[in-house]
Amino acid sequence: MIHRTPSELTRRHAIKGMLSITAGIAGTALLAACGGGTAGGTGTAATAGSAVVTATSGSTPATTSAATSSATASAAATTTGSTAATTSASAATSAASTGATSAASVGSAAAAATGAIAKGGTIKIGIDLPITGADASDGVPAENGAKLAIDQANAKGTVAGYKLEATVLDDAVNGVHDPAQGARNTQQFVGDSATVAFIGPFNSNVAKAEIPISNEAGLAQISPSATNEGLTKPQFGGLDLRKSNPTRIAFFRVCTTDDIQGPAGADYALTKLNKKAAYIVDDNETYGKGVADNFEKEFIAKGGKVLGHDHLTKGQTDFKSLLTRIKGTNPDIVVYGGVSSTGGGLLRGQMPDAGLGSLPYLGFDGISNAQFIKDAGSAADNCYYTVAAVNAAKIPSASQFIADYKAAYKTDIGAYSANGFDAANIIIAAIAKAAAAGSVTREAVRANIAATKDYKGVIGSTSFDENGDTTNRIISIYSITKGQTNFADQITA
């Protein structure tokens, strides 16, 4: 069961975090957080031999709870046991430009939320996605897939003796995914002892801000869609994000990575579209630049020519001078690495006025949404994009999920709805396994997720490798004609 009020979706936050650690007595550690992205008010939970997280903030994030009709009022968390919880002296730094608290600021509070949830209690599964503004066309379909899984598990009594509850947090600020907000949301999940795992984020640069926090806390998260290879793979810097616990993986994903997706797009442009001269534009974000760079390397290696590679400026909406420059190079395809909310659809929509309307336009999963078609208008035709996951509509076992989704939400599934559904179900299976073993703790859930092998879901069979990446490496390719998306091809890496 999930409840979200419209007012909760429109709240915006500019919370500056500061943490102070005060030594307690009799093995008690008190972590007082001013800000940190909690839902407003002050919550405390103090017992002897426990660590307490007390949080105060001046504003409320968009949050929902099945048990209440208002935002979560506290990030209080209590751990009980015969030994005192230990709070390490991790430094808290504040990014002045964003008001974001550093990942380290809450990692030391992880010990405050590692106790077992009593039988008959409520187990929370967090959902952190962009669910308002231009990014909502990405985040909401994935959110709906996750919520459907939780609702179905409750109806079936999948986790015997417990009730599951979704807590939904919006990581969009002013309609665009925001890493600092994602970090605050992760801190809120860490501070709630009933939250054992969460789904999200959608975007790679948000994941980059969240992973150090979840890794230090030992709180498992499964992203349906964050594809940058540097989030996980050591050879691309993945270890830099999990310095606290490099081998205790807490970040998992059910989508494949951009070192596969980018080259797949290049191969499609060369072999299927027969294009040899590309001009590349990206939004200069973790995902957009990364996938564009991967496209470029493969395109050149396979004999294509890159005529130019430009980066958009954040907030840019007028691309006339850029498109004039592109036209002067005479490309036969324009390639965009980025998302719709950072200019993907607007760039395409302005191409006809620059005399480039007849050229094909190839992007990646960042434009696999209704917002791209809306922004591009009639110029959306002759566009192509990849998605780093299977097309669920092509899997017979997904037919019931698709029917259930349409019945629940009165709309078709999105590019990552099925991924959100499977991500939630993998977490639920991990919780059920922990419950059957007699103790539902964050660590038990995290370890069970890490041990996932051949989970049969609506996107196929999922296992996680030593870095938390799925072994189900499939790229789907789509085209847009008359404002409608059409499945074009599928590649297995």
Give domain limits for the chain.
6-257+412-462, 258-387
- Convert the pLDDT of each residue in 101-146 to its tens digit: 444 444 444 444 558 999 999 999 999 999 999 999 999 999 999 9
Assigned CATH topology for domain 6-257+412-462: Rossmann fold (3.40.50)
Parts of the chain with a pLDDT under 70: 1-114
Give burial (CB, 10 Å; 0-12/13-18/19+) of 152: middle
pLDDT at position 432, please? 98
- Tokens encoding 28: 């008690």
pLDDT at position 136, please? 95
- Tokens encoding 281: 């534009």
List, edge to edge, every strand of the sheet that includes 333-337.
Answer: 305-311, 277-282, 333-337, 361-363, 383-387, 474-481, 484-492
Distance CA 360, CA 332 (A): 7
User: Which amino acid is located at 332 in the chain?
Assistant: D
- Convert the pLDDT of each residue in 208-251 to its tens digit: 999 999 999 999 999 999 999 999 999 999 999 999 999 999 99
Distance CA 46, CA 79 (A): 9
pLDDT at position 113, please? 55
Q: Could you identify the residue written with the tokens 């001269």?
A: 277
- Convert the pLDDT of each residue in 283-321 to its tens digit: 999 999 999 999 999 999 999 999 999 999 999 999 999
Asked if the domains at 6-257+412-462 and 258-387 fall in one CATH topology, the answer is yes
Q: Could you identify the residue written with the tokens 């807490």?
A: 250
Cβ partners under 8 Å of residue 440, min gap 6 = 116, 117, 123, 162, 196, 431, 434
Long-range contacts from 445-449, C-beta under 8 angstroms, 24+ separation: 445/196, 445/197, 445/220, 446/197, 446/218, 446/219, 446/220, 446/248, 446/249, 446/250, 449/197, 449/220, 449/222, 449/252
- Convert the pLDDT of each residue in 463-475 to its tens digit: 999 999 999 999 9
pLDDT at position 54, please? 29
pLDDT at position 427, please? 98
The CATH architecture assigned to 258-387 reads: 3-Layer(aba) Sandwich (3.40)
